[in-house]
Chain A
């Protein structure tokens, strides 16, 4: 590769990244055109460019998007939210805790944005019936979805990319990342209660209204729900054992999704409707960005960054990991974590070849924890936050960047500290 090509390649990448961050061009268009430009300008040949696209990531996302679309239609999320409000007998703090756990659980296995899209409207309804502002519920849900999503390999796109690129199994991901997540989730209702104190007082009369909700009528197609839950459970079970049956998660997700479609009364209608709910823009963003990063790898730019970082880490995995947690945490607070993680993955892989490969696993956990949790720091840090703010705004409850951020920041600093402590304790002390 000539110097000239390297300059062109880096320029394309930086410009596309700038457009993505600034939002001046839609991120999908910027990534795809950036990737294509790299092919046109002979930075990377087309076949090699396409081989950099991680199809395991793309097909896993497609499969899960289809399953979640069906699950949402069944009314399950609405049922669980209303049921938990009744179980809490209308106590707003208890409802908030339930909503946090429901959201976190589903976000761990499903797309965060989709989970909050399903849970937010019913939360607003519950808050309205209680006569309180829905903002505490909604902020809690956005935060919980980002924390919950961190727990598994399929919970959040950065994890999907990391797991796929580093060949980490689903089970190994859970074993290594979920312990601090469980702690964070248990703490979250207490932190939120403390931050939101005195904001939610509810009369007994209002609580009585919640008790009048008739949950028996929410699920209208119980056959569909049963089928969907069976498929969902089988898919998750498949994830747990995928390394033993020697299958990638994408294969399992796609099989689950299409078996579910196969079970529909009208396959043609189901295909049409469900395919329209696949977020093609996100998928093409991934494809474009994979190609651009591929270009940087071909140019040797990634290798150079890795060498530089390895130097900064002073060959200390502890320093490197803590550095990665906080760097990715703060960067993800302001920028989209997907392009950042997509760029960091080959860098860390390369560091692995320079340091011992087994030894770099803490770096992967650090990248995952930092990038996923960091999204909670500001309103624009994660897609789920933005979507929740949008839904809230549409319903006449606008919350500003700072209103979210003042809660998100505190929570994220606590979470990143827990993550750092965990990595230090588990990988470097208890070895």
Chain B
């Protein structure tokens, strides 16, 4: 769907007379909540301001106050171009997009990325800012052909900066990388090609004697040499000896639903994202929560 399709002339204020971010948000919310009971408007304002407190989303002069609203099943985008740029936390804002979505809507992120796309285009931005009428603005955005994807894909929420180690590294070097990145796992590549994964628990498991893992518990021991020796030969072991091939990998275009289901089914907190044999990212449950549920 086109971004412009979500816009409505009644929800666009040009030459908006507002000095503060909060007053913009209140005005835009009032427009957006027309037709709803008055307590709903209050709920929206509270939710948006609450979200803003966690850190406003401002990029290249565009501010995107937003909130997920419970008992609400719509997507409302309300736009304001203030008369004079508003300063929010030291940043100059020339245009506000207020976004209200349902609690679990994946659309929000896609709208966000569409607006980000729009803000990257300087020529488009200046023609939007020079619009005199809401209808003109909608037409300008429509002509720019910016689309809102209807579903999220793995690519949208994966970590591109993931811990990566190479097949012929020593275990010591790999563990140093995990330590430094504060990560419990890393993706393994062999000459640029994705070849598997290592996890801290996998390393420990592999270095523990098998009989110890078969016991009901080890509570009767106060000391156990093999545990103390787990990293004894870390300098001579290669990552390749200890890594495991990934049982599941995802492609950047895989759906988030699939990614989450796979993580739950495999009881893994992460899944490698591989494109044409190369590791391009990693999707984690933490990332899902941060970028989708708590976005």
Chain A: residues with CB nearer than 8 A to chain B?
Answer: 72-75, 78, 82, 117, 120-122, 124-125, 128, 212-215, 217-218, 220, 391, 394-396
Q: Does B214 contact A (CB under 8 A)?
A: yes
Contact A72 B220 (CB under 8 A): no
Tell me the bound Cα distance from A117 to B212 in angstroms. 13
Beyond A213-B221, A214-B220, A215-B220, is A125–B210 a contact (Cβ under 8 Å)? no
A68→B250 CA distance, assembly (Å)? 41
Report how far A139 CA is from B219 CA in the complex, Å. 26
- B215 contacts which of A122, A214, A215, A217 (Cβ < 8 Å)? A122
Do the beta carbons of A218 and B220 come within 8 Å of each other? yes
CA distance A78 to B209 in the complex (A): 16
Chain B residue with the shortest CB-CB distance to A78 = B216
Contact of B209 among A72, A82, A120, A395 (CB under 8 A): A395
Can you give 20 A-B contacts (C-beta < 8 A)? A72-B216, A75-B216, A78-B216, A78-B220, A82-B220, A120-B214, A121-B210, A121-B211, A124-B209, A125-B215, A212-B222, A213-B220, A214-B219, A214-B220, A217-B220, A218-B216, A218-B220, A220-B216, A391-B210, A391-B214
B219 to A220, Cβ gap below 8 A? yes
A73 to B216, CA, bound (A): 6
Most buried by A among B210, B215, B221: B215
Instruction: Assess the A124–B220 pair: CB atoms within 8 A.
Output: no
A396 surroundings in chain B (CB, below 8 A)? 209
With A and B bound together, what is the CA distance between A122 and B214 in angstroms? 8
A75 near B217 with CB under 8 A, answer: yes
State the CA gap A212–B225 with chains docked (Å): 14
Complex CA distance for A120 and B214, rounded to whole angstroms: 9
Inter-chain contacts of A74 with B (CB < 8 A): 216
Q: How far is the CA of A395 from the CA of B212 in the complex (A)?
A: 10
Distance from B42 Cβ to chain A, minimum over Cβ atoms (Å): 45
Secondary structure of the A side of the interface?
helix
Which residue, of A218, A220, A391, has the highest number of chain B Cβ atoms within 10 A?
A218
Nearest residue (CB) in A for B213 is A121
Chain B residues, Cβ within 8 Å of A121: 210-212, 214-215
For residue B221, which residues in chain A have a CB less than 8 angstroms away from its CB?
213-214
Find out whether the CB atom of B211 lies under 8 angstroms from the CB atom of A120: yes
Contact status B210-A394, CB under 8 Å: yes
Find out whether the CB atom of A128 lies under 8 angstroms from the CB atom of B216: no
Kindly provide the distance from the CB of B139 to the nearest chain A CB, expressed in whole angstroms: 61
A319 CA / B210 CA spacing, docked (Å): 48
Most chain A CB within a 10 A radius of its CB, from B214, B216, B221, B222: B216
Identify which of B210, B215, B222 contacts A78 (C-beta below 8 A): B215
Contacts of A394 in B (CB 8 A): 210
Contact indicator A125/B219 (Cβ below 8 Å)? no
Partner of B222, one of A125, A214, A215, A220: A214
CB distance from A269 to the nearest CB of B (A): 16
Q: How far is the CA of A18 from the CA of B128 in the complex (A)?
A: 83
Give residues 188-215 of B contacting A (CB, 8 Å).
Answer: 209-212, 214-215
Cα A125 to Cα B209 with chains together (Å): 9
The count of residues in chain B whose C-beta lies closer than 8 Å to any C-beta of chain A is: 12
| Interchain nearest-CB distance for A281 vs B (Å) | 20
User: Which of B209, B214, B219 meets A218, CB within 8 Å?
Assistant: B219
Looking at A78, A125, A217, the one whose CB has the most chain B CB atoms below 10 A away is A125
* Shortest Cβ distance from residue B19 to the other chain A in the assembled complex, whole angstroms: 61
With A121-B215, A391-B214 already in contact, the answer to whether A128 and B220 are too (CB < 8 A) is no
Distance to closest chain A CB from B256 (angstroms): 29
Instruction: Give complex CA distance A274, B54 in Å.
Output: 49
B209 contacts across to A, CB distance below 8 A? 124, 128, 395-396
* B232 CB, min distance to chain A CBs, angstroms: 15
- Taken together as a complex, chains A and B put the C-alpha atoms of A395 and B219 apart, in Å, by 20
Instruction: Please name 8 further chain A to chain B contacts, defined as beta carbons within 8 Å, in addition to the given A128-B211, A218-B220, A396-B209, sorted by A numbering.
Output: A74-B216, A78-B216, A120-B214, A121-B214, A214-B221, A214-B222, A220-B219, A395-B210
Chain B positions 276 through 294: 1 when the CB is less than 8 Å from some CB of chain A, otherwise 0: 0000000000000000000
Residues in B with CB closer than 8 Å to A218 are 216-217, 219-220
In the complex, chain A residues whose CB is within 8 Å of the CB of B217: 75, 78, 217-218, 220
* Chain B nearest CB, measured from A115 CB (Å): 14
Shortest distance between the CB of B156 and any CB in chain A (Å): 37
Interfacial chain A residues near B216, Cβ < 8 Å:
72-75, 78, 218, 220
Interface string of B226-240 (1 = CB under 8 A from A): 000000000000000
Q: Contact between B219 and A124 (Cβ–Cβ < 8 Å)?
A: no
CA distance A123 to B90 in the complex (A): 69
Q: What residues of B have a CB within 8 angstroms of the CB of A122 in the complex? A: 211, 215
Return chain B residues, CB-CB under 8 Å to A212.
Answer: 222
| Chain B: CB-nearest residue to A212 | B222
* Distance between A66 CB and nearest chain B CB, rounded to angstroms: 17
Q: Which residues from A are CB-within-8-Å of B212?
A: 121, 125
- Expressed in whole angstroms, the Cα–Cα distance for A63 and B220 within the complex equals 31
In the complex, the answer to whether A395 meets B220 with C-beta atoms within 8 Å is: no
What is the bound-complex CA distance between A218 and B219, given in angstroms? 6
- What separation, in Å, do the CA atoms of A213 and B218 have in the docked complex? 10
A396 to B211, CA, bound (A): 10
A306–B269 CA distance with the chains assembled, in angstroms = 63
Query: A75 to chain B: which residues have CB within 8 Å?
Result: 216-217
- Most-contacted residue by chain A among B212, B214, B217, B222 (CB, 10 A): B214
CA separation between A401 and B214, bound complex, in Å?
A: 24
Residue of B nearest to A220 (CB): B217
CB <8 Å contact, B219 and A217: yes
Q: A214 to B217, alpha carbons, bound, how many Å? A: 12
Rank and list the top 10 A-B pairs by shortest CB-CB distance, nearest first: A121-B214, A217-B219, A121-B211, A75-B216, A124-B211, A394-B210, A213-B220, A214-B220, A395-B210, A218-B220
Q: Which residue of A is nearest B221, CB measured?
A: A213
Determine the chain A residues whose CB is within 8 A of the CB of B220 once the complex forms.
78, 82, 213-215, 217-218
How far, in Å, is A46 (CB) from chain B's closest CB?
Answer: 39
